[in-house]
């Protein structure tokens, strides 16, 4: 996966200083606080982070799916040359599904139970293109073949509940690809599936991405899944991207203590019985009251007084790898020292290869 050359061309997704604030509750909640992200054509970027880190909010902002009245979105989002935040409702509807479309976490909930999957794909195609139902159905059949659904003709007439979990997610992917989008947004596409099916779906996504030249933004909290498909990693914490870089580079040389901690918290296959799972002490900060300094400071093992003063700026580490941390050197040292961390890394790397 040589992506350095592809990443040089103009990005298809370009997010600048994105801030998303929800005003629904008592206090405004800053879910995303200045995210910069660019994704090149044919590139897969994984947004990684724990619950509430703003990864899904960032993803949904790309389609402007948040309730308009209660959400304030600031910054700039450009997808395939369209200024997403400036689109009118008509243009937005045209943009959704045709330029960028989305795969949801739980396909059983994201597919309408009262229509067959075929009907839903036909409906989606005909929403954007003036073609006959028969024509649209032919396209749906091709999509089903493309996402490797066995006996596709029969499956088109199946209701979502009549399919297995993996099959439903394939159907969901077919639905998302119905109008030939250039950008595919995947919100934890494998979380609801069991482990063997997860791999199949991930491989399918990677294959589709290569064949169709899709740009994929992939949200997950599962590093193992992310390593399978992503060209680039973007680790999020408290609404910011704290570390970003090519997958191998981030896995091999994490420079943000949060990334390191996440990797150490992974449970690998060969854990000894009775061994405790590593975890990150503390809890993520309250998004309604973010600290002035680094948001991770209070859970960080390398914290210094300077960390509490102001939010750290991104430190360039070369090769597109950057981390928002004052103590990248300390993390680097810890990586070098920790035998356990290297063991994890080598396992991850063999998985990548």
Partner 1 sequence: MNTTASLPLPQPRTKVEAIERSPGFWSGVLAKLMRDPVALGAGAVLLALIVMAIFANQLLPADPYATSMFKRLKPIGFEGYPLGADELGRDMLSRLMLGTRLSLFMGITPVLIAFVIGSAIGILAGYAGGLVNTLIMRTIDILYAFPSVLLAIALSGALGAGIGNALLSLTIVFIPQIARVAESVTTQVRGRDYVEAARASGAGPFTIVRVHVLGNVLGPIFVFATSLIAVSMILASGLSFLGLGVRPPEPEWGLMLNTLRTAIYSQPLVAALPGVMIFITSISFNLLSDSLRSAMDVKS
- Strand intervals (E) in the chain: 13-22, 29-39, 44-48, 71-79, 82-83, 100-103, 183-187, 215-220, 232-237, 240-246, 315-316, 322-323
118-137 positions binding partner 1, by CB under 8 A: 118, 123-124, 127-128, 133-134, 137
Tokens 């918290």 identify what position?
Answer: 265
Q: Which of 320, 324, 331 is nearest to 255 (CA)?
A: 331
Q: Which is nearer to partner 1, 95 or 218 (CB)?
A: 95
- Pick between residue 46 and residue 141 the one whose CB is nearest to partner 1: 141
Rule CB under 8 A: is residue 146 a binding residue for partner 1? yes
Q: Which residues pair with 85 in a beta bridge?
A: none
Pairing, β 100-103 against β 183-187 = parallel
- Binding string to partner 1 for residues 228 to 267, with x set by CB under 8 A, is what? ----------------------------------------
Q: How far is the CB of 200 from partner 1 (least distance, A)?
A: 15
Q: Is residue 17 close enough to count as binding partner 1 by CB under 8 A?
A: no
For partner 1, the binding residues in 32-91 under the rule CB under 8 A are 63, 65, 69, 89
Q: Is 161 in the site for partner 1 (CB under 8 A)?
A: yes
DSSP assignment of 24-64: SSSS-EEEEEEEEEEE-TT-EEEEE--TTSSHHHHHHHTTT
Between 49 and 107, whose beta carbon lies closer to partner 1?
Answer: 107
Candidates 13, 18, 149, 156; binder of partner 1 (CB under 8 A) is: 156
**Torsion on CA atoms 4, 5, 6, 7, rounded to nearest 10:** 50
Among the listed ranges 100-108, 215-223, 240-248, 273-281, the one in contact with partner 1 (CB under 8 A) is 100-108
Taking only Cα atoms into account, the Rg of the chain, rounded to an integer number of angstroms, comes to 21
- Could you tell me the CA-to-CA distances from 100 to 60, 61, 121, 130, 240 in Å, in that order? 11, 12, 16, 19, 22
Q: Token match 């993996």: residue?
A: 166
Closest approach of partner 1 to the CB of residue 105, in Å: 8
Does residue 94 interact with partner 1 by CB under 8 A? yes
Compute the least distance from the CB of residue 146 to partner 1, in Å: 5
State the binding string over 176-195 for partner 1 (x if CB under 8 A, else -): x-xx----------------
CA 53 from centre of chain: 12
Q: What is the tally of helices (H) and strands (E) in the chain?
A: 14, 12
Binding site for partner 1 (CB under 8 A): 63, 65, 69, 89, 93-98, 101-102, 104, 106, 109-116, 118, 123-124, 127-128, 133-134, 137-138, 141-142, 145-146, 153, 156-157, 159, 161, 175-176, 178-179, 211-212
């Amino acid at each position: 996966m040589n992506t350095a050359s592809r990443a040089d061309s103009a990005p298809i997704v370009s997010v600048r200083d994105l801030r998303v604030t929800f005003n629904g509750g008592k206090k405004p909640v800053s879910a995303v606080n200045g995210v910069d992200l660019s994704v090149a054509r044919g590139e897969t970027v994984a947004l990684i982070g724990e619950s509430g880190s703003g990864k899904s909010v960032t993803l949904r902002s790309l389609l402007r799916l948040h309730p308009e009245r209660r959400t304030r979105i600031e910054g700039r989002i450009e997808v395939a040359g369209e200024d997403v935040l400036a689109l009118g409702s008509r243009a937005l509807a045209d943009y959704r599904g045709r330029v960028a479309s989305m795969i949801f976490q739980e396909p059983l909930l994201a597919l309408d139970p009262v229509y067959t999957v075929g009907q839903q794909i036909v409906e989606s195609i005909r929403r954007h293109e003036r073609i006959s139902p028969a024509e649209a159905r032919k396209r749906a059949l091709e999509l089903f073949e493309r996402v490797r659904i066995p006996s596709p003709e029969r499956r088109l007439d199946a209701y979502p509940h009549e399919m297995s979990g993996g099959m439903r997610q394939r159907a969901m992917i077919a639905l998302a690809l119905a109008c030939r989008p250039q950008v595919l947004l995947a919100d934890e596409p494998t979380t609801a599936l069991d482990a063997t099916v997860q791999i199949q779906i991930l491989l399918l996504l990677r294959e589709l991405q290569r064949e169709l030249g899709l740009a994929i933004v992939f949200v997950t909290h599962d590093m193992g899944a992310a390593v399978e498909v992503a060209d680039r990693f973007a680790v999020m914490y408290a609404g910011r991207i704290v570390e970003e870089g090519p997958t191998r580079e981030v896995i091999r040389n994490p420079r943000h203590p949060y990334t390191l901690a996440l990797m150490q918290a992974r449970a690998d296959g060969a854990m000894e019985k009775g061994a405790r799972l590593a975890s990150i002490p503390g809890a993520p900060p309250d998004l309604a009251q973010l600290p002035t300094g680094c948001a991770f400071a209070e859970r960080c093992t390398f914290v210094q007084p300077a960390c509490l003063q102001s939010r750290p700026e991104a430190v360039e580490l070369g090769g597109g790898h950057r981390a928002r941390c004052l103590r990248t050197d300390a993390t680097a040292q810890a990586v070098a020292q920790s035998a356990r961390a290297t063991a994890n890394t080598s396992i991850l790397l063999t998985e990548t290869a």
